[in-house]
Amino acid sequence: MTKTVTVAIIQHAPVYLDLAASVEKAVALTKEAAGKGARVVTFGETWLPGYPAWLDYCRDMGLWNHEPTKAVFARLRQNSVLIPGKETRLFGQLAAENNLILVMGVNERVEAGPGNGTLYNSLLTFTPEGELKGHHRKLVPTYTERIVWGQGDGRGLEAVATPVGRIGGLICWEHWMPLARQALHDSGEAMHVAVWPTVHEMHQVASRHYAFEGRCFVLASGLIMRAKDLPTELQTTAELAANPEAFVLRGGSAVIGPDGKYVVEPVYDREVIITAELDLEVVERERMTLDVSGHYSRPDIFSFKAKGILGDRDS
């Protein structure tokens, strides 16, 4: 494992609900980050082809049999990612050509078999060998998200071995699921990717707590979205309709050290590639005082075994 590594968080908006254009933008941004020396590059939650913020910012979308909402869902599904598929092959090649680890949040669709018709909120990790090594589906969509996403399973609930140490990730409110956190801690993370729609104050608290508890670096990755990108099929609030440049999702991306302190403070309300050079030896030093999978775990009192973190999905 190398001692230092440059990481990058891509806090740019996708081309909303346009998979092909968003993939093209992701490739360009990844290459730009690689040009800055990044060996770990991450995008935010369901960056491809965008987070369904319309669930919370558009009127009437919760009405039963609402045709405009169904039209938006259909467009989201048509522009979601098949795994494996041409997008995953492209991102694997991109990671290999640029010798980096690429972490990408996607809306995942299933074409046949179990789960067909359902979308999943998934986090994908590609290694410098060009392989898709991490495929985690969000365990429990939160509140209105349950309208569009199904429940994930535990088969991706583990860190991935990479040349810069083991890298894991959780999605949004999974960071308040104690046993999900413990499963990732037990898999030996040196670095953790925490993806959120916006990394607002409580999400910052959760990300910093995760870093302190897991004694790992955390890349807290937020999304950028403006009111003008909300689907035209749906009516938004009068305030947002009058201010199309207003931020719906504000970013807030940050890099946090294993002591819970910021390496890079949160950045809001602008598109930016956030970079930081991390000293991975800090992970080893901080585990002297706290190691929730080691000397602080007390296995003589507590036992924990995560189910289903290995094996292939039928889909």
Give the model's pLDDT for residue 192. 98
- Catalytic residue, chosen from 145, 172, 189, 216, is 172
Establish if 315 belongs to a structural domain.
no
> Is 265 among the residues known to form the active site?
no
Give the model's pLDDT for residue 315. 37
Give the model's pLDDT for residue 139. 97
Domain extent for 263: 4-286
Give me the number of domains the chain comprises.
1
Divide the 315 residues of the chain into consecutive groups of 10 and give the mean pLDDT of each group. 89 98 98 98 98 89 83 95 97 98 97 83 98 97 94 93 97 97 95 98 98 98 96 89 94 98 98 98 92 89 76 48
Establish if 203 belongs to a structural domain.
yes
Establish if 40 belongs to a structural domain.
yes
Establish if 214 belongs to a structural domain.
yes
pTM: 0.94
Give the model's pLDDT for residue 310. 52
- Catalytic residue, chosen from 25, 45, 58, 133, is 45
Give the model's pLDDT for residue 314. 46
Establish if 307 belongs to a structural domain.
no
CATH number for the domain that contains residue 233: 3.60.110.10
Establish if 125 belongs to a structural domain.
yes
DSSP string, the chain: --SEEEEEEEE----TT-HHHHHHHHHHHHHHHHHTT-SEEE--TTTBT---THHHHBTTTTSTT-HHHHHHHHHHHHTSBPSSSHHHHHHHHHHHHTT-EEEEEEEEE--SSTTTT-EEEEEEEE-TTS-EEEEEE-SS--GGGGGTB----STT-S-B--TTS-EEEEEGGGGG-HHHHHHHHHTT-SEEEEE-SB--HHHHHHHHHHHHHHTSEEEEE--EEEGGGS-TTS-B-HHHHH-TTSEEEEEEEEEE-TTS-EEEEEEESS-EEEEEEEETHHHHHHTTT--TTTTTS-TTT-----SS-SS----
> Is 45 among the residues known to form the active site?
yes
Establish if 181 belongs to a structural domain.
yes
- Catalytic residue, chosen from 25, 87, 133, 138, is 138
